[in-house]
Amino acid sequence: MQQRMDLQNIRKEAWALMRANGYASVKATALYLAVTLLLSEIGAASDSLLGKEIGPIRGMSFSFSFLGILASLVSLVLLTGYQHYCLRLHRGEGPGARSIFDPLSFAGQVVLLQIMINGLVILGASMFFLPGLYFGMCYALAPLILCEEPDANALTAMRRSRERMVGHKLELLALTVGFLPQVLGVLVAGVAVETLIWPLFPDSLAGSLAALALEGVLIGCLRAFLQPYLGLALAGFYRRVTEESGEEQ
């Protein structure tokens, strides 16, 4: 019989680990945010050359240029690498900040995995929202499984995540909901920053890129706190689920 997880303890553990590994987590998070900001700048510049206007809340828009799409895919790979970094930090392995780039060696599988998961979530969300939420919870562990288990491909990682999440989907949802105040705080601050920054720059490619860069730096300062907190909490959840299944390394 499955035991109920202590979600409050998972959050407390994540907070304690973030404080204990402050320099290491900040260094890796800053590297991740800096590289993703650079990719966003590349995508924005490429889109601009195709006549697409650059503006606030760019992260909510879709890129149609080759470089823009490529930058978005690389960002997904780096997100997986950052999540795996948090898992290794949670285990006390002392991973270097550059380990966020490790998934680039199997980037094709990571991209395929992310496309399939996001596709299912979007498709499910279009059908009264709840199916999308269900798929998101089912396959939340798949990126970490892909990094952790050398024999796994994208489909195998999704299957194993679905199997291990049996009986744990509501727990992961509750853990995620517990972070809503922090997430909403960062989102509101981000909208405020965008509203204040963009009118200060000229309506040109250089001005837009400068505004996007400053916006990324300021919002990144807020995310530097939230990103490792979320990553370490997910790592703690992953470890408990895999320990229950007898597959924790």
Would you state the pLDDT for residue 55? 57
Q: Which residues of the chain have pLDDT under 70?
A: 1-3, 50-64, 246-249
**How many CB atoms lie under 10 A from the CB of residue 32?**
25
Angle formed by the axes of helices 22-49 and 66-91, nearest 10°: 170
Read off the tokens for 45.
Answer: 């510049």
- Cα separation, 195 vs 161, in Å, equals 40
What's the token pair of residue 38? Answer: 């650079």
H or E stretch at 147 = helix 142-148
Contacts of 37 (CB under 8 A, 6+ apart): 213, 216, 217, 220
Residue 194 is predicted with a pLDDT of 82
Q: What does the pLDDT read at residue 60?
A: 43
Q: What is the DSSP track for 26-90? A: HHHHHHHHHHHHHHHHHHHHHHHHTTPPP-SSGGGS---SHHHHHHHHHHHHHHHHHHHHHHHHH
- State the pLDDT at residue 53: 62
Per the listing, tokens 């470890």 go with 239
- The answer to whether 77 touches 88, Cβ cutoff 8 Å, is no
Residue 173's pLDDT is what?
A: 94
pLDDT at 41: 87
One-letter amino acid identity for 40?
A: S
> Closest by alpha carbon to 161, among 105, 230, 237, 218?
237
Exposed e or buried b per residue across 155-174, where buried means at least 16 C-beta atoms within 10 angstroms of its C-beta: ebbbebbbebbeebbebbee
DSSP letter at 5 equals P
Output the CA angle 88-90-91, nearest 5 degrees: 65
What type of residue sits at position 222?
L
Q: Tokens for 56, please give them.
A: 């606030």
